[in-house]
Structure 1
């Protein structure tokens, strides 16, 4: 694993820390590859159930590393997008733990996450229009689905910041915590998720994300295709057995 990203596995939770604090964790090509590798490890390991992504040194991510860009680097990976993540998030739940700035591509990492925990001093923003650019890492495509339409358009057109408390009021942020506590709170939330059936978590995420493209006629059928294998799994039987025996389940991811 590259020094650009630090991975720490805490039980069933994998914490991915973008480790470029001198650049406010701006993403270059090496960082994008390291994040993609960490996401692959999260998805491939049966002992890991939930991911948390954060940044070192008091900031989440300031987007693309412009110095790298001027050298001809692209902090994207084919088929996976910016930071090796925004177009192809993990199959498993991903929580963004945000301190400081989450700007441009950094904000799009938060948009691509399933849950956002933020310090009350955090700042989100898509300033691309100020630079004559377009937020193509999910900002223009998805922000209006995660915020009220008119608020999203204001932010996209102006490029201005969205404060953490305002983001929380609009439902973009799930949990607001004092500065310096975002990661701790995100890990606690991840541990709650990770206590549940891993196959169920993956199926729920897949249904939620894919169903936007389903017609009303095919939705029930496609949902059943994803959910039925979970109902037939060893984990489903273990969940029922653990409930009747009044104990914590021992998940096998099969």
Structure 2
């Protein structure tokens, strides 16, 4: 009997760990859904726990409070869209700047054509962009700014200008802005407004190709005009 006790204790500990992980994940998912629907200010911890089937103290236990849950939701949503590891790998690849930029756009277009593209992750980011909460600065510092710096590096390499040049900063913004608009807008609304745009995985190659043509043509025109002004 005594020989079985350690095994039983180990199994019990694993079960407890799995239960904790499941509860935390459920609260994170339900919290994300409600934040996407109602915003941070109009969502209550009681409502989240009730829908998640969790104890009302669970948010404090796992996240340290509603603020901690909301920032975790924002970070998780952004990481699901584009992780730092993925972007770092693209930047470090021994390929041309054009190939790097195409890889970035492909990653974002691929997220756009996912069947779950209208999920809470994209909607909560969209809500935060349109109606910023007090946690936007933290979210930006942790996830957005480092990725913007890497994107600027790609654009700088592509146009042959220093990263601090205004053309590079604006160019990076012009690259990412259409992608953000695709991702944060409601999928069904986009289908009504632009029915022939292409919303399936089979459309990815055409979308990426045309976005690259648009971006490269625009950047080339801007750089040429800048050189002419400075000469």
TM-score range (shorter-chain normalised) is: under 0.3
Q: TM-score, normalised by structure 1?
A: 0.26
Q: Indicate the structure (1 or 2) with the bigger Cα radius of gyration.
A: 2
Higher relative contact order (CA 8 A, sep 6+): 2
Q: TM-score, normalised by structure 2?
A: 0.27
